[in-house]
Amino acid sequence: MSLRIVSLNGELVCEDTCRDGRRSEGFPPGGLYDHETARILQAWWEVDGPVWELRGGTVEFEATQPIALGWAGASTTHQVDRMILDTGERLKLAPRRPGATLAIVSGKRWLAQSGTKVAEGDPVLGGGLTRLPPEGTLALLPGANDLRVRYLPRQGIPRIEGDWAVSIRADRIGIMLTGEQQFYQSHGRSIPTNFGAIQNPGDGQLIVVGPDGPTVGGYPVVGAVIRADRPKIARWAPGDTVSFLPVTMDEAEQAWTQAQRQLRDHVRRTTALRKALG
């Protein structure tokens, strides 16, 4: 054990890649909310494995042994935040944009199992002391207020129009948006959902399903945020205004290929800069 959770307001989850294969049993895939920020931060710290993600609040750690910590999130250019805590020292962290998502790494690999959630008083396994990365500005991938959406191939489903405001009801299960009243025909039965699915519960609201969202739902599903844009959902904060742009399946696939290439290039440049600076 390297850390103890002194206080926690929000969700703190240790995540890595998604855990597919058990959706039929009702288990969501989970995984990192913002894998792009996590991988860039890991490249700077030269570590791999799972990452702790803080969503929608603050956390205060107390070191139970000396440990090096680094964190980043919800900003396109990010001053490298890092610190060494000695035994007994405390550190309180929150995203730069309140209500968004923060990635947290250490100088050594975290040992918690992917999907582990913690509460006040719980230990944090793994991590450790290492030489801190150099000071500087870490370039992260940007968020977006216009998300690309694939609509379901059914007749009579209107497109989402206008601007939608991100509400304070936002976590790993889903993010609620408020906007103009829209009506959709209910299916009359539960249907499968996934990370990025857009549900319409009525009353001028939309729900964008998160990585820990339900595997099935009774609300009408309008469409889904394409895979390439899902990490941007984690960078939303309450009060942000978002809109949705329709794309075809071919455009969605091209966007995913481009996003993967962009992330690989970004990680490669971050790794090269880290080595050059020592």
Query: Which of 138, 124, 135 is CA-nearest to residue 60?
Result: 124
pLDDT tens digits, one per residue of 162-171: 889 999 988 9
Residue count (the chain): 278
3 pLDDT band, cuts 50/70/90, is very high
Q: Where are the domains of the chain?
A: 3-142, 146-256
The answer to whether residue 61 scores a pLDDT higher than 80 is yes
The residue-averaged pLDDT of 74-90 equals 77
| C-alpha distances in Å from residue 240, one per residue of 46, 67, 88, 230, 236 | 33, 35, 38, 16, 6
pLDDT tens digits, one per residue of 174-184: 999 998 766 55
The answer to whether residue 1 scores a pLDDT higher than 70 is yes
Predicted pLDDT of residue 36: 92
CATH class of 146-256: mainly beta
The answer to whether residue 172 scores a pLDDT higher than 80 is yes
The answer to whether residue 188 scores a pLDDT higher than 70 is no
pLDDT tens digits, one per residue of 115-163: 899 999 999 999 998 777 877 666 777 666 778 888 866 655 667 888 8
Q: Which residues make Cβ contacts (< 8 Å) with residue 223, sequence separation at least 6?
A: 149, 150, 151, 152, 157, 160, 197, 198, 244, 246
